[in-house]
Structure 1
Amino acid sequence: MDFWTGLLTSLLQTAFSPTTAAFVLAAIGLNIHFGFTGLMNMGQAGFMLVGAYGFGVSVVLGAGFWTAILISMVAAIIFALILGIPTLKLRGDYLAIVTISAAEILRMIVRLASLQDVTGGPTGLAGSQYRHVFTALSPLPEGKTTFLGLTYNNTGIDDWWTRIVAWCLVALFILITWSLMRSPWGRVLKGIREDEDAVRSLGKSSYAYKMQALILGGVLGALGGIVMALPSAMQPDSMGRPATFNLWMIMLLGGAATIFGPLLGTLIFFIVRLLLTSLAGEFVPSTLLNAQQTEQLAWILIGISLMLLVIFRPQGILGNKKELSFNV
C-alpha cells in the first residue's frame, strides 16, 4: 500500500511540476509552428535556451525581473528573424535543417569555457543567481501549504509560487491559442499549411504570416525555457536535441493542430515515463534490470508506443485526420 500511495504522490508531483508546465508552453509554441502553420521547426529547444539564458544572464548583469523578461522575449524574436528570413520563402525541409543546426550552435556557444563568467559554461547558472527577482514578486505568506496531499513552501525553492505562475501561463496561452486559431489570422495559418499557393492567390503574404507564427511560437518556447529554469538551475545540455525530440513526441502524442493536445501529450509523456520506471523498479528484480536499465526500458516502451500511435492513429489522441494536410 505504501508503494501505491507513494506512486500516486509522485504522479501528482510530476503533473504539477513547473518542468511539466514548461514543456506544455514550449509544445504549444511548436504546435503553432507545425500543427497550425506547417513549419518544420526542429530546434524549439533553441528558443527555450535563448529565453532561459536571456533571462538569467540579464538578471546576473543587474536587470530587474520585467526587464529580464523583455530582454528574453526580444532575444527570441531576433532568433526567429535570423532563422526565418533566409528560409521561410523556401519549400521543403530547409527550416528543419536550419533550426536544428542553429539550436545546436547556440548550445555549443553557451557551453564555451571562455564564456564561463557570463553563461556559466558547461555547468550553467545556479538558480540562486537569478531566481531572487522572481521570488520577490510572490504575494504568498511565508510557510508551507498542503494541497491534494502535496506540501511545498509557499515561496522559495520548489515552491507553490512557481507552480501557480507556471500553470497560469499554460492556461493563459491555451486560451490565447484557442482565440487566435478561431480568428481570421489563424484561418490564414491553416490555409498556408494546407495550400500556400491558394493563400497567395487571395492576396495574402504567406511569408509574413509564417514569420509571425515563427515568432509567436518562438516566444512561447522562450517562456517555457524561463519556467523550466526558475525552480532549479540553468544548464545548456538540458535544452539540446533531446528536448526538441521530446517536444515533437509530446505534440504528436496529444495531437497536432489541437488546442489541448500539447497539454495532454505532456502529461501523458511525463506520467507514463514515471509510471513505467516506478513499476519496473518495484516489481522487476534488480538482477534483471538495474535503475539505469529501467530508465532505458521506459524510453524504449515510449518509443514503441509512439511508433504504434503514428501507424494506427497518426493524428494523435485528440487530433483530427482532416488537420493532417501539410504543405511541405
Structure 2
Amino acid sequence: MNWISIIENTVKAFVGINAVYFALAAIGLNVQFGYAGLLNFGQAAFMACGAYGLGMTSQYFQINMWWGVLIGLGFSLVLALLLGVPTLRLRADYLAIVTIAAAEIIRLVVRSVRFNEYFNGSDGINEFSGPFREIGNDLIAPAARNYGPSWTVPGIDWTIDVEFTGRQVWTLIIGWALVLVCGAFVFLVMRSPWGRVLKGIREDENAVASLGKNVFGYKMSSLIIGGMIGTFAGMMLALDRGSVQPDNYSRDVTFFILTALVLGGLASVTGSIVGPMVFWAVFQFTDVVLREAIGGQAISIGNIRVMDTTQIGPTNQIMIGMLLILLMVYRPQGLFGNRKEMAIDAR
C-alpha cells in the first residue's frame, strides 16, 4: 500500500477547494441552523444562485466579473425572501420542506432542455472564469507551475510532496481569505445584541417575542445572511472548475455540508470551518485506502465478489456514516461544539 500517496492526497483534501466551499457553505448554514435554529435543507440552492449569477453574467452579457458577484448575491436575496416570507411564521419543519423542494426545483429547471438557451441544460455554463484566472497568473505565476510544501519523514525514507498548480493556489488563497472574513464576521456578529437575540430565538422564540422583539425579522435576516455566505461557496466552486453544472448543486451537497457542520460542531465558527476540512480529509483517506487495498482488482471470498472498484464510492459513504454515528454517540456536540449550549437548546 502506497502510504506516501495516501498521506499526500489526505493533506491536499484537508486544505483543498472542496474544503473551502464546504466551509463557506457550512458557515452560512451555521448562521441559519446552528444559531437561529432554522432547518434549511436547501443550502445548495443558494450556492447555485451564486454560481449561475456569476456564470450567466460573465458568459452571456460579457460584463465585469464583480457585477456577476453582485447579481449572484441579488439572486440569493430574492430566493431567501421567497422561501422565508411564507414559512418563517410557521413551524420549523415547514421551512425544511420548502427549502429542500426549492433546491430540487432550481436544479431541475436549470438542467431542463426547455431553458437550454439560458442555462445550457445539463452541460452547464463553461469558459467564464478566464478573467479570474488571469489575475492569478499575473499575481502568482504561470498556471502550469506547482507550489506546495515538501518534507522528509525522519527515520523513514519518505518524501511527502503536497503540490498545487498556480491556478489552484490562487483559488485557494481567495477561497480561504473568504472563509476567514466570513468566519470573523459571524464570530463578531454573534457576540453582538443581534446575535444574542438570535440565540434566544433558537432556545425559546415565544420568550423572545414576549420581550417585544420582531422574531420574524430576526429569522429572515439570518436566512438572508446565511444564504449569501453560501452564495460565495457556489461562486468559488464555479471559479475553480471553470463551469457551472446543475448536478453539482444537488440535495446530496446540502446533506454533506450539514454532516460536516455537525462534525465540527453547531453554533461554533471554528467547528464550521474545521468540520469540512476534517470531513474531506477522512473522505479522501478512506477512498484512497480502499483503492490502494483493491489495487484495481476485485476482492472475492470463494465465488462471492465482495468488492470491486465500482463499489468504492458507496462503501466510502457507508464508512463515513458509521464514523458519524460513533461521533453522535460519544461526542454529540461535535469537535468544537458546546455541550452546555446544547443542553438549553429547545429544538
TM-score band, normalised by shorter chain? over 0.9
**Which residue of 296, 302, 325 maps to 1:307?**
325
The answer to whether the 8 Å contact 1:38/1:327 transfers is: no
Look up the equivalent residue of 1:196 and give its one-letter code: E
In structure 2, the partner of 1:208 is 217
Q: 1:141 to 1:263 in 2, by over 3 A?
A: closer
- 2: distance between equivalents of 1:217 and 1:141? 31
The answer to whether the 8 Å contact 1:180/1:186 transfers is: yes
Look up the equivalent residue of 2:290 and give its one-letter code: A
Q: Where in structure 2 are the equivalents of 1:136-151 lying within 5 Å?
A: 136-138=134-136, 139-143=138-142, 144-148=145-149, 149-151=161-163
Instruction: Give the structure with higher Rg (CA).
Output: 2
Deviation at 1:327, TM superposition (A): 4.4
- 2: distance between equivalents of 1:29 and 1:68? 20
Indicate the larger mover: 231-240 or 136-145: 136-145
Deviation at 1:12, TM superposition (A): 2.4
Q: 1:98 to 1:284 in 2, by over 3 A?
A: same
In structure 1, the partner of 2:16 is 17
The answer to whether the 8 Å contact 1:30/1:41 transfers is: yes
**Which residue of 144, 152, 171 maps to 2:180?**
171
In structure 2, the partner of 1:50 is 49
- 2: distance between equivalents of 1:150 and 1:247? 25
Q: In the alignment, is residue 4 of structure 1 matched against residue 3 of structure 2?
A: yes
Deviation at 1:284, TM superposition (A): 4.1
DSSP 3-state at the match of 2:269:
coil
Look up the equivalent residue of 1:166 and give its one-letter code: G
**Which residue of 161, 166, 169 maps to 1:154?**
166
Q: Where in structure 2 are the equivalents of 1:93-242 lying within 5 Å?
A: 93-126=93-126, 128=127, 130-138=128-136, 139-143=138-142, 144-148=145-149, 149-155=161-167, 159-232=168-241, 233-242=243-252
Q: 1:153 to 1:271 in 2, by over 3 A?
A: closer
Q: Where in structure 2 are the equivalents of 1:79-94 lying within 5 Å?
A: 79-94=79-94
Deviation at 1:82, TM superposition (A): 0.4
Paired residues, what number?
Answer: 322
- 2: distance between equivalents of 1:133 and 1:108? 29
RMSD of aligned alpha carbons? 1.6
Deviation at 1:45, TM superposition (A): 0.6
Deviation at 1:49, TM superposition (A): 0.8
Q: In the alignment, is residue 287 of structure 1 matched against residue 298 of structure 2?
A: yes
Look up the equivalent residue of 1:247 and give its one-letter code: I
- 1: distance between equivalents of 2:210 and 2:135? 50
The answer to whether the 8 Å contact 1:48/1:221 transfers is: yes
In structure 1, the partner of 2:304 is none
Look up the equivalent residue of 1:174 and give its one-letter code: G
- 2: distance between equivalents of 1:291 and 1:184? 53
In structure 2, the partner of 1:37 is 36
- 2: distance between equivalents of 1:208 and 1:145? 48
Deviation at 1:278, TM superposition (A): 1.4
- 1: distance between equivalents of 2:234 and 2:57? 14
Normalised by the length of structure 2, the TM-score is 0.89
Q: Deviations over 1:51-71 (max 9, x none)?
A: 111111111122211100000
- 2: distance between equivalents of 1:92 and 1:152? 43
Q: In the alignment, is residue 297 of structure 1 matched against residue 315 of structure 2?
A: yes
Q: 1:275 to 1:152 in 2, by over 3 A?
A: closer
**Runs of 4+ residues deviating >6 angstroms:** none
Look up the equivalent residue of 1:84 and give its one-letter code: G
Look up the equivalent residue of 2:206 and give its one-letter code: D
Deviation at 1:145, TM superposition (A): 4.6
Matched residues, percent identical? 39
- 1: distance between equivalents of 2:65 and 2:181? 20
The answer to whether the 8 Å contact 2:328/2:334 transfers is: yes
Look up the equivalent residue of 1:300 and give its one-letter code: I
Q: Deviations over 1:93-140 (max 9, x none)?
A: 1100000001110001001112223212012122x2x10132243341
Deviation at 1:92, TM superposition (A): 3.4
DSSP 3-state at the match of 1:230:
helix
Normalised by the length of structure 1, the TM-score is 0.93
Q: Deviations over 1:231-289 (max 9, x none)?
A: 11211111111001101101111110111112221111111111112112222463222
Flag structure 1 segments of 5+ consecutive residues without an equivalent. Answer: none
Indicate the larger mover: 3-12 or 294-303: 3-12
- 2: distance between equivalents of 1:19 and 1:117? 29
Look up the equivalent residue of 1:266 and give its one-letter code: P
Deviation at 1:141, TM superposition (A): 4.5
